[in-house]
Amino acid sequence: MAEDKVVEKGGKYYPPQSFVDKAYIKDMGTYQKMYERSIKDPEGFWGEMAEGFHWQKKWDKVLSYNYHRSKGPINIKWFEGGKTNITYNCLDRHLATRGQQTAIMWEGNEPGEDKVLTYQEMYEQATKFANVLKGFGLKKGDRATIYLPMIPELAIAMLGCARIGVIHSVVFGGFSAESLKDRVVDSKCSIMITSDGTYRGAKAVTLKQIADDAMKGAEKEGVKVPHCVVVQRVGEGKGIDCPMVAGRDEWWHELMAKSPVGCEPEWMDAEDPLFILYTSGSTGKPKGVLHTTGGYMVYTSLTHKYVFDYHDGDVYWCTADIGWVTGHSYILYGPLLNGAQSMMFEGVPTYPDSGRFWQVVDKWGVNIFYTAPTAIRALMRMGEEFPRKYTRKSLRLLGTVGEPINPEAWQWYHKVIGEERCPIVDTWWQTETGGILITPLPGATPTKPGSATFPFFGVQPAVVDDQGQEISGNGVSGRLVVKAPWPGQLRTTYGSHERFELVYYSDFDGLYFTGDGTKRDEDGYYWITGRVDDVINVSGHRMGTAEVESALVAHPSVAEAAVVGFPHEIKGQGIYAYVTLKVGIDYTDALKKDLVQHVRKEIGPIATPDVIHWAPALPKTRSGKIMRRILRKMAHNEMDQLGDTSTLADPSVISTLIEMKGK
């Protein structure tokens, strides 16, 4: 039926009438009215939105803030004076009405391995784990590092921490011991929660030994982790060693077996910290983005409800790993705050074959599917035979996250996966924003392939030039900033408010700088054009070029390195490394392989360089600054567009670099 199809008119895609009929927000007029109110009267709007949660004590003031460094320290406070607990709002609040309803559907690495946890069961498990933490003497304000695969214990550990005010710092299970150690040291955590191992496709790999190495390294830097809880995921006989350190390491299942159900929540101030999540910056050291309790709770719940048009009974699947902010906000907190049925997937889209996503969609009857453009591009390469094996008839909404989606991938997602009946929400946001900032609302917004469209309620984006002057009107491009706070915003970088101010507020006074470029087209639609700083977006994950450079330079053969991004068919951006070796070292293919392995070990597989370009010397100005603009052009194969090279200390470097390309 025509009313069940997305309609294309003049390059814009309109939602099917059957979708609009059931949507919360059915037209752009309603969106505009709500949006204008949220900007003109943020206190009234957000105060109303926060009413539906349990507050042990109501707030005194909805919002107070200072965005101008010239007027004193940057500070942002939402729902000040209010007391609440996010675990109570995710679980206890639902028990009377939906205690027996599914909360988490877990799909294991192997097809056929699965588990369903109801809200009642999640409550029991989370409060038991909160009691385990209390047994170790952990209290409000202490930090816990969680280094786990995508298993239910990860969600339970996070909710158990939040129950008693312990700040969780979740580290993606693909990070190396070195990266994990840095995060342990920075957070000075009191406990490590990890597992014996995990699965990557058919292969079992260790996690515990990586955690052990990280804790050993942290101790050398003065941070001793006194407790370590180990989940048995792989078990014996899979070739994974799991040595236990007496007095420090304990098995999760043994602790949980003797822990009682039920734990009084710690009533947190709205501005008390909830979690730290480390993200790559343009300098080498990852920064600990700190989110607080009240604003984050209200914002993730509201964005999940409206952006995904989530209705009771929908089966919702965000394919991200909880180690990234997408998983925090849109697998765990947002969905559970809304009483949703949220899917947690341990596997990868290509195991046992490239039909896995669609097999899972059919098996669980998934209605809302949220994934990354890099996954879509990888599956697109495999052709249509895999999706065609499955009906996917349960799907009603598709979403993308992590990076802008190229129009070709958007069209494939729309036609092949959604069969032209599912609207697509292309969402733009960051670790720092806590939740989605620019996005279509699926029942209302006519979409354009590749555009994130319009701001969510309460979000005031602006386009500025390099000097920070706002560029008004449409058909403009520049840097993307936000003019005022929204509830999900980070409050600081852990341990260094100065770094927070420098990174986000020093470029343009009075504006939050996103680090992204944008264009606002003739219709007022926002298009994200990518990072404007030294950060690249690899498969939807941010990677600081400085981080990769310092890993390369740590190799005994390397004198200097410069890293840039380049267009990559699958990952969006790839990692392109220019490497200068120490005198007397030969440029060989074997050394290239060794450098790739070295970076994987230092940071993790996501930082694997795609190209190593030998550079006997790097192009530098007379003051010694590397001309990255030239390196980017070379990596993009734009040799005829290198621009002005007259400021180089030694212009002959260019011809040598061109000669070495591909060698």
Report the pLDDT value the prediction gives residue 485, as an integer from 0 to 100: 99
Rounded distance, CA 413 to CA 405, Å?
10
Report the pLDDT value the prediction gives residue 389, as an integer from 0 to 100: 98
Q: Is the dihedral of CA 404, 325, 609, 561 positive or negative?
A: positive
Tokens of 426: 């292309």
- 203 occurs within a structural domain: yes
Report the relative pairing of strands 167-170 and 191-195 from DSSP bridges: unpaired
Cα angle 570-571-575, degrees, rounded to a multiple of 5: 125
CA atoms within 13 A on the CB side of 144: 31
Q: Give all strands of the β-sheet with 526-531 in edge-to-edge order.
A: 461-464, 476-482, 512-520, 526-531
Report the pLDDT value the prediction gives residue 211, as an integer from 0 to 100: 98
Element (H, E) at 341: strand 341-345
Model confidence at 648: pLDDT above 80: no
Model confidence at 123: pLDDT above 80: yes
Q: Give me the mean pLDDT over the 39-53 stretch.
A: 99
Tokens of 10: 């003049």
Q: Which residues contact 204 (CB under 8 A, 6 or more apart)?
A: 197, 198, 234, 238, 239, 240
Question: Helix/strand/coil (H, E, C) string of 40-75?
Answer: HCHHHHHHHHHHHCCCCECCCEEEEEECCHHHCCCE
Q: Is the dihedral of CA 620, 635, 595, 284 positive or negative?
A: positive
Of 492, 102, 568, which is closest to residue 271 (Cα–Cα)? 492
Give the three-state DSSP class for 517: strand
Total Cβ atoms within 10 A of residue 623: 7
Query: Band of the pLDDT at 182, cuts 50, 70, 90?
Result: very high
pLDDT in tens, 596-632: 999 999 999 999 999 999 999 989 876 667 888 899 9
Rounded distance, CA 661 to CA 663, Å?
6
Q: Give me the mean pLDDT over the 137-143 stretch.
A: 99
Q: What residues form DSSP beta bridges with 191?
A: 144, 227
Tokens of 403: 């990076």
Name the phi and psi angles at 545, rounded to 5. -60, -35
- 650 occurs within a structural domain: yes
Rounded distance, CA 351 to CA 386, Å?
12
Report the pLDDT value the prediction gives residue 363, as an integer from 0 to 100: 99
- 451 occurs within a structural domain: no
Query: Band of the pLDDT at 540, cuts 50, 70, 90?
Result: confident
Give the three-state DSSP class for 592: helix
pLDDT in tens, 430-452: 999 999 999 999 999 999 999 99
Rounded distance, CA 405 to CA 111, Å?
29
Query: Using alpha carbons only, how large is the chain's radius of gyration in Å?
Result: 25
Tell me the CATH number at 646. 3.30.300.30
- 359 occurs within a structural domain: no
Tokens of 89: 């709002």
Report the pLDDT value the prediction gives residue 547, as an integer from 0 to 100: 82
Report the pLDDT value the prediction gives residue 236, as an integer from 0 to 100: 82
- 221 occurs within a structural domain: yes
Q: What residues form DSSP beta bridges with 78?
A: 63
pLDDT in tens, 453-498: 999 999 999 999 999 999 999 999 999 999 999 999 999 999 999 9
Query: Band of the pLDDT at 263, cuts 50, 70, 90?
Result: very high
Domain enclosing residue 336, as ranges: 85-348
Count of residues for the chain? 663
Q: Which residues contact 316 (CB under 8 A, 6 or more apart)?
A: 308, 310, 335, 340, 341, 342, 343, 366, 367, 368, 370
| Weakest mean pLDDT among 142-151, 243-252, 321-330, 579-588 | 579-588
Query: Tokens 């955690």 correspond to what residue?
Result: 211
Number of continuous H segments (helices) and E segments (strands) in the chain: 22, 32
Name the phi and psi angles at 89, rounded to 5. -75, -30
Q: How far is CA 632 from CA 374, 575, 636, 643, in A?
A: 21, 11, 6, 12
Element (H, E) at 133: helix 119-135
Q: Give me the mean pLDDT over the 218-239 stretch.
A: 95
Rounded distance, CA 138 to CA 224, Å?
15
Report the pLDDT value the prediction gives residue 453, as an integer from 0 to 100: 99
Model confidence at 283: pLDDT above 70: no
Express as a percent the part of the chain with pLDDT over 90. 84
Query: Band of the pLDDT at 151, cuts 50, 70, 90?
Result: very high
Q: How far is CA 598 from CA 212, 214, 302, 557, in A?
A: 19, 17, 43, 11
Rounded distance, CA 334 to CA 327, Å?
10
Residue with more model confidence, 375 or 344: 344
Rounded distance, CA 345 to CA 407, Å?
27
- 54 occurs within a structural domain: no
Total Cβ atoms within 10 A of residue 158: 29
Report the pLDDT value the prediction gives residue 527, as an integer from 0 to 100: 96
Query: Band of the pLDDT at 286, cuts 50, 70, 90?
Result: confident
| Weakest mean pLDDT among 9-13, 91-95, 215-219, 583-587 | 583-587
Q: Which residues contact 439 (CB under 8 A, 6 or more apart)?
A: 303, 307, 425, 426, 427, 428, 452, 453, 454, 456
Report the pLDDT value the prediction gives residue 284, as an integer from 0 to 100: 63
- 466 occurs within a structural domain: no
Element (H, E) at 200: strand 197-200
Question: Helix/strand/coil (H, E, C) string of 439-474?
Answer: CCCCCCCCECCCCCECECCCCCEEEECCCCCECCCC
Contact 160, 133 (CB under 8 A): yes
Contact 474, 507 (CB under 8 A): no
Q: Give me the mean pLDDT over the 219-247 stretch.
A: 95
Report the pLDDT value the prediction gives residue 541, as an integer from 0 to 100: 86
Cα angle 53-56-59, degrees, rounded to a multiple of 5: 75
| Weakest mean pLDDT among 236-240, 565-569, 621-625, 653-657 | 621-625
Rounded distance, CA 208 to CA 181, Å?
13
Q: Of 326, 348, 370, at which residue does a domain stop?
A: 348
Residue with more model confidence, 1 or 76: 76
Split into its structural domains, the chain has a count of 2
Rounded distance, CA 166 to CA 144, Å?
7
Q: Give me the mean pLDDT over the 113-124 stretch.
A: 99
Q: Of 348, 377, 409, at which residue does a domain stop?
A: 348
Report the pLDDT value the prediction gives residue 327, as an integer from 0 to 100: 98
Mean pLDDT, the chain, integer: 95
Report the pLDDT value the prediction gives residue 145, as an integer from 0 to 100: 99
Rounded distance, CA 452 to CA 307, Å?
12
Report the pLDDT value the prediction gives residue 583, as an integer from 0 to 100: 85
What is the Cα 623 distance to its own chain's centre? 37
Query: Band of the pLDDT at 282, cuts 50, 70, 90?
Result: low
Query: Band of the pLDDT at 158, cuts 50, 70, 90?
Result: very high
pLDDT in tens, 355-406: 999 999 999 999 999 999 989 988 998 889 999 999 999 999 999 999 889 8
Residue 494 identity (one-letter amino acid) = Y
Contact 316, 340 (CB under 8 A): yes
Contact 329, 155 (CB under 8 A): no
pTM above 0.85, yes or no: yes
Tell me the CATH number at 313. 3.40.50.12780
- Which of 233-237, 284-288, 524-528 is predicted most confidently? 524-528
Report the pLDDT value the prediction gives residue 2, as an integer from 0 to 100: 66
| Weakest mean pLDDT among 198-202, 223-227, 277-281 | 277-281
Q: Give me the mean pLDDT over the 73-85 stretch.
A: 99
Name the phi and psi angles at 290, rounded to 5. -105, 125
Of 284, 196, 202, 275, which is closest to residue 240 (Cα–Cα)? 196
Report the pLDDT value the prediction gives residue 555, as an integer from 0 to 100: 94
Q: Of 348, 366, 396, at which residue does a domain stop?
A: 348
Report the pLDDT value the prediction gives residue 641, as an integer from 0 to 100: 83
Largest CA distance in the chain: 74
Element (H, E) at 293: helix 293-307
Rounded distance, CA 59 to CA 84, Å?
10
Tokens of 453: 């469209």
Name the phi and psi angles at 194, rounded to 5. -140, -170
CA atoms within 13 A on the CB side of 408: 9
- 583 occurs within a structural domain: yes
Report the pLDDT value the prediction gives residue 256, as an integer from 0 to 100: 99
